[in-house]
């Protein structure tokens, strides 16, 4: 297939470029570099099956030639209000990527009779009252809260995707992506994995917000990309959770990072989450992914962190 990936220079988008090219497809990457990093796709320069267009997908999408599939991954994704890459500092761009960008991608798919895959998120569940979260759960979100620009953009994008599927017969997929980590994350991403790894590598105490009882489930990027690819080539139109169901508290996670890296500086606690409405529990029910895609995460936390450390060491100048 000839596949367009929006957000191609982002963390997940760039890894998807690699996987699709490895599968023998031709890839058209698109990014405006608001949060994407050109270094993430620099190694693809000169690849005859890779083309790149710098463009904001919320304005328009114009790609010469036939397109067989579109993977819409263009969106800020970091909740860090202290980072220029965080969606709290890019609220309008985030909403436009989820609304106008999704609309433009779906219109392109309709014109080309192409397949569409939306990168949705576990954040559509908000601070969940159901645990673990199944795809049938409608969510518990604040539409005007500090995370609403991201959460509501993704919820709207899902609704628009299903509208195009139901009314225009567009062949659609929805991946609800849970916490993912690995090489090519921004150092000031603001999410817990890059925060903890950097602090541990520098020999600093790890910062845990609250009492550390809030939970997350972490999926290594190679597993995540495999799940997304399996969904792309499947016939499933309904949302599918993709994530690692192994749940741990932030305190347990911090202790694990310190142990793996050998950091003796310990842990410090701060009283509140920097964004103000940190979800307390997050764990995917991946029954549908197992049954429909034959997928589940295979890389455990220790192996995934060990694969990630060299990238952060390089970026921090510790090699």
Determine contact, residues 66/112, Cβ cutoff 8 Å. yes
Provide the token pair at 315: 């970026």
Beta carbons within 10 angstroms of residue 268's beta carbon: 12
* Sign of torsion over alpha carbons 33, 22, 184, 191: positive
Do β-strands 247-249 and 215-217 pair in parallel, antiparallel, or remain unpaired?
antiparallel
The question of whether 311 is a catalytic residue gets the answer no
DSSP per-residue codes, 221-232: HHHHHHHHHHHH
In a 3-state reduction of DSSP, which class is residue 146? Answer: coil
The catalytically annotated residue of 150, 164, 220, 229 is 150
- Separation of CA 54 from chain center: 20
241 forms beta bridges with 176
CA distances for 306 relative to 34, 160, 301, 313, angstroms: 29, 39, 8, 11
Distance (Å, rounded) from C-alpha 200 to C-alpha 259?
9
Contact 176/241 with Cβ under 8 angstroms? yes
Q: Which of 179, 178, 280 is nearest to 239 (CA)?
A: 178
| DSSP label at residue 270 | E
Active site residues: 150
């Amino acid at each position: 297939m000839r596949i367009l990936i929006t957000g191609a220079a982002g963390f997940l988008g760039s890894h998807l470029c690699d996987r699709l090219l490895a599968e023998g497809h031709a890839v058209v990457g698109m990014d405006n570099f608001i949060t994407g990093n050109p270094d993430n796709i620099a190694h693809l320069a000169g690849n005859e099956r890779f083309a790149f267009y710098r463009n904001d997908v919320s304005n328009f999408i114009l790609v010469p030639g036939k397109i067989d599939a579109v993977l819409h991954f263009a969106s800020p994704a970091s909740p860090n209000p202290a980072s220029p890459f965080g969606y709290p500092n890019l609220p309008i761009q985030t909403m436009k990527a989820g609304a106008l960008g999704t609309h433009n991608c779906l219109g392109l798919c309709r014109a080309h009779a192409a397949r569409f895959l939306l990168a949705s998120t576990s954040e559509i569940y908000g601070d969940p009252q159901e645990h673990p979260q199944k795809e049938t759960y409608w969510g518990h979100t604040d539409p005007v809260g500090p995370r609403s620009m991201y959460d509501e953009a993704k919820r709207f994008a899902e609704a628009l995707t299903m509208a195009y599927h139901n009314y225009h017969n567009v062949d659609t997929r929805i991946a609800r992506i849970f916490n993912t980590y690995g090489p090519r994350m921004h150092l000031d991403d603001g999410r817990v994995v890059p925060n903890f790894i950097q602090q541990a590598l520098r020999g600093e105490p790890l910062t845990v917000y609250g009492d550390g009882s809030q939970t997350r489930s972490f999926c290594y990027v190679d597993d995540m990309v495999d799940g997304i690819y399996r969904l792309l080539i499947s016939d499933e139109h309904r949302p599918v959770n993709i994530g690692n169901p192994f749940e741990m508290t932030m305190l347990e996670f911090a202790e694990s990072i310190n142990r793996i890296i050998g950091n003796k500086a310990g842990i410090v606690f701060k009283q509140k989450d920097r964004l103000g409405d940190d979800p307390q529990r997050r764990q995917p029910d991946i029954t549908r992914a197992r049954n429909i895609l034959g997928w589940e995460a295979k890389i455990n936390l220790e192996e995934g962190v060990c694969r990630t450390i060299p990238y952060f060491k390089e970026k921090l100048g510790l090699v």
